[in-house]
Structure 1
Amino acid sequence: MLAGMPSLSHQEQQDAADRIHHLMEQGMSSGEAIATVAEEIRTLHKDDRVTVLFDDDDDE
């Protein structure tokens, strides 16, 4: 996971955005809606493995 979030497909990202908008329409603040959806995503993908490679070479 990168920054504590799994890698999501475009459709999963769109679904998350739609869910956030729905929660905000129900009266939830934007920050709370984002946190709620992020926690839902983390729970659904808690056993997923994402490999991240960093290039630490300085190209000066």
Structure 2
Amino acid sequence: MFDNALLSLSHEQQQQAVEKIQVLMQRGMSSGEAIALVAKELREAHDNEKINSEKTKSAEK
């Protein structure tokens, strides 16, 4: 499912995302596909960080 939640990204993270999108486009991917792919990867990374953080908190109890 598409999660349209907004992520707060640092300037560095934003720059990395832009660079990755540009590379994908240089390899022939459309801008829309590249943006969607990078956004999906960012959401997945965010979700994984959240899960790992919750596991760490529960392990500390």
Q: Structure 2 length as normaliser, TM-score?
A: 0.70
CA–CA separation in structure 2 for the residues paired with 1:31 and 1:6: 18
Query: Conserved in 2, the CA contact under 8 Å of 1:5 and 1:42?
Result: no
Partner of 1:57: none
Which sections of structure 2, spanning at least 5 residues, go unmatched? 52-61
RMSD across aligned C-alpha pairs, in angstroms?
Answer: 1.4
| SS across alignment from 2:38 | helix
1:38 equivalent in structure 2: 39
The runs of at least 4 consecutive aligned structure 1 residues that moved more than 4 Å come to: none
What is the TM-score normalised by the length of structure 1? 0.71
Tell which has more relative contact order, 1 or 2 (C-alpha 8 A, sep 6+): 1
Q: 1 or 2, which has the higher helix percentage?
A: 2
Identity of aligned residues (%): 52
What residue ranges of structure 1 are gaps of 5+ in the alignment?
49-60
Number of residue pairs matched by the alignment:
46
The amino acid of 2:46's aligned partner reads: H
